[in-house]
């Protein structure tokens, strides 16, 4: 227990390491809460700017925002650096990946771990630490809070300009500045591989519509012509989501947006798809994950391959653009199955829809993953590896692991040469068929109708 006295304002440094090229809501939102309480807040997005060493030296609290696996791995060495710069600062990790990595993060010196709805927890932590005489003891705030919060408009004044983040390529040769906000967190569903599930357990929480619209308005005023909604599933609360985008469109008719929606919900709420199109939805990300029904069952995705095919047809019917995501490399994929996966995408004319990185993603088994409920996963998963923040696993057929590594390198090399999606796909497909000792059918690649490039974000989606 340490007792200290302060004659200056309490200072908190909030650090984001990576969030898919987005200006981080996870800094701007809690910053507003803390500043309203008279706390001196520094927001540092080190994906854009240098690590704020000077501010960390003067900080009472250094809190790392870890909403995803990549962000957490990048935060680990920076936490050690913060400790070296200021051994007296209280070290906190907050966000989706904080509670599932609690033991490891505490071994790095983290004193507070906050997951779920973290804004109020950060405020309570600061109030506990600050004052003329404060006690810096064991964590009192809940590690995971799902309490309903009334949000404040995020304070983005301390963040880099929106022009420095990912942009939307509109498909007609133009680029739009992109803003980012969240209308809800958590998810009603229990997909086994999803990192949201261990924290939210099938529940979700909304951000009040007026707060979302105020946040959009301030980003439009800063130059945003497109808004990304970061909700894990925008249709978890359809009565919240649809009025929100209709209000957005009524207020900013030239602003486009994108959302993420499950295949299951795209079918359940198919009658609302025209309303998304009419209100300016430029693309919809959907986590397809696999084109194998056995794998989809194991992941508990709630949809089938046939459901995905139906959604593809619905999108074509309504003129919507799909941004499908996949986890093709699982313990259950075969060389022939991966080749079929690529052939199916080509046959559906989805080559331009799929970011090349999605063709190389390998299943991640993070701490607390519901995948470990499956005996066949427990049988192949190795003990949790802190350096990887996951349970390592090896494919029963070592050729699949080599293929995944080789294709990842191939995609990187081709992207560095500014190759387009079709050229990269052709290279991946030829290589995969050669490894599978199968001829790669080329005719369907050349037969699909030439089209303008589709709308896409310049930073691809992955965890």
- pLDDT tens across 289-341, in order? 999 999 999 999 999 999 999 999 999 999 999 999 999 999 999 999 999 99
CA dihedral 191, 196, 197, 203 (to 10 degrees): -110
Give residue 132's pLDDT: 39
pLDDT single digits (tens) 137-193: 689 999 999 999 999 999 999 999 999 999 999 988 899 999 999 999 999 999 999
Answer whether 200's CB lies under 8 Å from 148's CB: no
| CB neighbourhood size of 206 (10 A) | 22
pLDDT single digits (tens) 239-254: 999 999 999 999 999 9
Query: Who wins on pLDDT, 9 or 75?
Result: 75
- What is the C-alpha separation between 389 and 392, in angstroms, rounded? 9
When pLDDT is cut at 50, 70 and 90, the band that residue 450 belongs to is very low
Contacts of residue 212, defined as CB under 8 A and 6 or more positions apart, other chains included, come to 181, 182, 183, 244
Candidates 328, 327, 322, 294; CA nearest to 308 is 322
- Return mean pLDDT, the chain: 93
């Amino acid at each position: 227990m340490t007792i200290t006295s302060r004659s200056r304002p309490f200072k908190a440094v909030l650090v984001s390491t990576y969030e898919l090229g987005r200006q981080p809501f996870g800094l701007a939102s809690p910053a507003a809460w803390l500043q309203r309480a008279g706390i001196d807040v520094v927001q540092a997005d080190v994906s854009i700017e240098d690590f704020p060493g000077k501010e960390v030296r003067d900080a009472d609290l250094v809190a790392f925002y870890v909403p995803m696996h990549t962000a957490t791995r990048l935060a680990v060495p920076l936490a050690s650096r913060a400790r070296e710069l200021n051994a007296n600062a209280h070290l906190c990790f907050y966000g989706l990946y904080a509670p599932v990595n609690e033991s490891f993060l505490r071994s790095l010196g983290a004193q507070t771990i906050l997951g779920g709805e973290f804004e109020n927890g950060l405020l309570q932590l600061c109030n506990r630490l600050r004052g003329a005489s404060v006690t810096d003891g064991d964590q009192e705030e809940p590690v995971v809070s799902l309490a309903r919060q009334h949000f404040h408009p995020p304070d983005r004044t301390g963040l880099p300009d929106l022009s420095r983040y990912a942009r939307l390529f509109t498909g007609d040769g133009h680029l739009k500045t992109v803003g980012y906000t969240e209308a809800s967190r958590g998810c009603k569903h229990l997909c086994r591989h999803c990192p949201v599930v261990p924290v939210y357990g099938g529940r979700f929480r909304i951000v009040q519509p007026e707060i979302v619209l105020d946040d959009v308005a301030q980003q439009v005023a800063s130059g945003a012509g497109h808004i990304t909604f970061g909700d894990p599933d925008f249709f978890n609360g359809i009565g919240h989501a649809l009025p929100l985008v209709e209000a957005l469109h009524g207020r900013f008719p030239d602003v486009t947006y994108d959302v993420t929606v499950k295949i299951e919900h795209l079918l359940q709420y198919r009658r609302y798809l025209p309303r998304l199109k009419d209100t300016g939805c430029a693309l919809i990300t959907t986590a397809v994950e696999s084109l194998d029904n056995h794998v989809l069952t194991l992941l508990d995705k709630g949809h089938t391959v046939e459901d995905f095919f139906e959604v593809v047809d619905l999108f074509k019917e309504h003129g919507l653009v799909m941004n499908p995501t996949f986890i093709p490399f699982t313990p259950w994929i075969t060389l022939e199955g991966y080749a079929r996966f690529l052939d199916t995408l080509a046959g559906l004319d989805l080559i331009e829809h799929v970011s090349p990185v999605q063709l190389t993603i390998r299943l991640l088994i993070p701490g607390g993953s519901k995948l470990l409920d499956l005996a066949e996963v427990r049988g192949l998963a190795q003990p949790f590896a802190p350096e990887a923040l996951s349970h390592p696993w090896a494919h029963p057929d070592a050729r699949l692991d080599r293929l995944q590594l080789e294709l990842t390198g191939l995609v990187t090399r081709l992207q560095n040469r500014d190759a387009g999606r079709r050229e990269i796909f052709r290279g991946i497909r030829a290589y995969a068929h050669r490894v599978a000792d199968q001829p790669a059918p080329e005719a369907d690649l050349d037969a699909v109708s030439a089209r303008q490039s589709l709308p896409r974000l310049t930073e691809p989606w992955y965890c």
